[in-house]
Amino acid sequence: MNYFAYGVRGLLTTVFLIAVAGKVGRAGAFSAFADSLRPLAAVSGPAVRAVALAVVAVEGAVCLALTLPYPPATLAGLLAATALLAVFALVIARSVGRGTTVQCRCFGRSAAPLGRAHVVRNGLLASVAGTGAAAVATGPAGGADPGTVAVAWCAGVIAGGLVTVVEDLVSLFRPVAPSMTE
């Protein structure tokens, strides 16, 4: 497995781990996530909760598969991540195209509505996951320098952490509306 694949594993494991923790890590988080799916989903009623549970389960399974030191598990995790992120991008794009306003519950709580930036983010992550899958599928299965593997994983983890907070970072540089007292 090449170092790029290790970095991709670190990136996607971090993104999906933060996503799962944000959706189930505090009281009411899962219900808020499930409620956010109602305007997005092609299903309704109790099926929305089942879809929410399936999303969290697949995100957790991806994390597990990407951390196992077994190339077929890694490949399966990368392919699942690619598919899941592509579905996210498509569902959000459809929502944005219809003008539906839904709060982003991708990583738990957020006041930001889903928008084009979310489509781009998920599309880019799907592309990275797909490229990682191709690297695993076609790359050598042999060992690698443990130090370089650790650096690649750490770089991926840092990149994954940044992906999950990019909205917050961008908001720091947005102009602030003037207050009514000025």
pLDDT (mean) for 55-62: 96
pLDDT at 181: 60
* DSSP output for 67-109: HSS-HHHHHHHHHHHHHHHHHHHHHHHHHHHHT---B--TTS-
CA torsion sign for 128, 134, 140, 142 is positive
- E strand or H helix that includes residue 148: helix 146-171
CA torsion sign for 33, 87, 38, 61 is negative
d(CA 110, CA 129): 25
Give per-residue pLDDT as tens, 92-141: 899 888 888 887 777 766 767 888 988 999 999 999 999 999 999 998 76
Number of neighbouring beta carbons within 10 Å of residue 81: 31
Report which of residues 75 and 182 the model is more confident about.
75
pTM: 0.88
SS3 category, 130: helix
